Amino acid sequence: MLSVGTLIWISLRPLIRLVICGGCGFAITKADIFPPIAARGAGQIMLNIALPCLMFSKIVPAFTSENIGALGPLVLVAVLYEAIGIAIAWIIKQVYWTPHRFRYGILVAGGWGNYGDIPTSVLMSITGAAPFNGSSDQTLSVAYVSAFILVFMVTLFPCGGHSWVAKDYVGPEVEDEEVKEVLRRKHRKWASAILHPLAKFSPGLSLSRTPSCEEGASNVNEKIQEPCTTTLEAPTVCGARSKKHVSFFEDATTVVTEPIKSAVSSPGPSRLTSPAPTVVANFESAEGGQPTSAADTHSITRYRRRNIVYAKLVAVLRTLCTPASIAIIIAFPIAVVPQLKALFVDVPGTHIPPAPDGQPPLAFIIDTATFIGAASVPLGLICLGSALARLKIPKNQWRTLPIGAIAWLAIGKLIVMPVLGVLICQGLVSAGVIREEDKVLRFVCIFFSCLPTATTQVFLTQVYSGTGSAEHLSAFLIPQYIIMFLSITALTAYTLQMLF
């Protein structure tokens, strides 16, 4: 049994390292010696070189045919956390007002946490020392992190999570007061629905409605619904804005926007509704006029659907062809096939002719990947500090901010979610889904329940906003990263006490 002081120090030590490293990025950004173009380059190096090397160097030695079954619980827990986070954000959105340009972004903020540099840094520090088993548990913990990163990338991009951020910027602007009025109208409807059965038993209870309020709220509702009509009537404008390609798929990295020549090669929908108008126009020009028969209409429909399916398939393949995804996908088969694994590391019971130095013939690849991968966490933390330094909170405008939504999203992600995470993981242990003796797996699964919103959303918002700003998101992020230090310390100490 570890003492309270030991538990607190073990929990706090990795956060001190995180603060120092992230603070360096924050300081050089504020000193104007780490410009955005440099941060973008550092992020691309981390994403496309250092992170794939780190994942490969940890997955190959850590996973075996005996423990590969842990991949299932890891994916299950990752999906559950995202679903619960989205549900919490949706409930907050129903109770507290959120800006019109953040009406879908709050769902992304609730569902997708910082699955990159923060958990990797903290887990490597904690599992690399007592009470864990040193380097072997450290390697295994990073290998487990790769499953969460893979789920993060697949759900945010091929599954369309990023398109929610794009939807925030479709249609005309709606004033905050108008959004608040719609929410008040919704609350009145809820109150009416709850109190209506009571009115039958209480003759004195009146539920009469005010026509003026109803008319005003309906006008506001029509204005908010207007983006859907605008999107359908102006496909060319939306198509022009969709030529932005987000080139990162993991948290605390950066983004590069490039013009894309065709909608088919787009990585996913931004403000693009459908390529149908272009397809129809091309089809009609090829036919020499408007389609006049049912056969022509059916052919256009089939042609349209085929192109939409093709565009989505290309988007999925583009996501899975990023360096980090490729490294993870290649590493798993190598790790579980003894003959392949023995080419890189020593495998008991499997003989492969060694290199002249007595090491496995491809051991130099693991050595190189380990050497390069060591730069992943420091680079990621520096980029995280730089991203936080560039966030701008509107000064002297706190009264205009959605304080209720900001506070409850921070509470939901960093206080409620950890409690649910402990309950979920303990329930999976009791059900036999997670092995009780695999303490590294249990610790990793619980730890991922206590992470703030991914800074990846900052870059997505900057791309889709068209102005490069993310003013609404800034106010939601900063409180979370402040509370994070207390909640992670408390959760880590509690989990270590529970496990050991």
Q: Chain centroid to CA 373: how far?
A: 22
Q: Which residue has the higher pLDDT, 345 or 303?
A: 345
| Mean pLDDT over each residue of the chain, to the nearest integer | 80
Reported as a single tens digit per residue, the pLDDT across 288-336 is: 445 556 667 777 777 787 888 887 788 777 767 888 889 988 999 999 9
Residue 266 has phi, psi (to 5 degrees) of -70, 145
CA-closest candidate to residue 51, choices 315, 289, 252, 297 = 252
Average pLDDT for residues 445-450, to the nearest whole number? 96
Q: What is the pLDDT of residue 500?
A: 84
**What percent of the chain has pLDDT above 90?**
39
As a whole number, mean pLDDT of residues 496-500 equals: 90
Please compute the mean of the pLDDT values over residues 376-390 and round it to a whole number: 88
**Strand runs (DSSP E) across 155-276, as ranges?**
none
- Listed residue (302, 241, 238) closest to 273, CA to CA: 238
Pick the most confident of 74-78, 312-316, 386-390, 469-473. 74-78
* Cβ-contact 160, 268 below 8 angstroms: yes
Q: What is the pLDDT of residue 319?
A: 67
**Facing residues of 453 across strands?**
113
This model's pTM is above 0.85: no
Band (pLDDT 50/70/90 cuts) for residue 195 is: confident
The pLDDT score that the predictor gives to residue 7 is 82
Q: Which of 169-173, 266-270, 393-397 has the highest mean pLDDT?
A: 169-173
pLDDT at position 203: 54
Q: What is the mean predicted confidence (pLDDT) over 190-203? A: 69
Residue 70 DSSP symbol: G
Look at residue 436 in the predicted model and tell me its pLDDT.
92
Residue 337 clears pLDDT 80, i.e. is over it: yes
- Report the sign of the C-alpha dihedral through residues 445, 446, 449, 450, in that order: negative
What is the per-residue pLDDT for 1?
63
State yes or no: pLDDT of 231 exceeds 60.
no
In this predicted structure, the answer to whether residue 425 has a pLDDT above a threshold of 80 is yes
pLDDT-derived band of residue 408, with 50, 70 and 90 as boundaries? very high
Q: Is a pLDDT exceeding 50 seen at residue 493? A: yes
What confidence tier does 459 reach under pLDDT thresholds 50, 70, 90? confident
pLDDT (average), residues 224-246: 41
Look at residue 117 and tell me whether its pLDDT is greater than 60.
yes
Rounded Cα distance, 281 and 277, in Å: 6
Give the model confidence (pLDDT) of 158-187 as tens digits: 788 888 988 988 888 888 888 888 888 888
For residues 383 and 253, the answer to whether their CB atoms sit within 8 Å is yes
CATH class name, domain 4-172+322-499:
mainly alpha
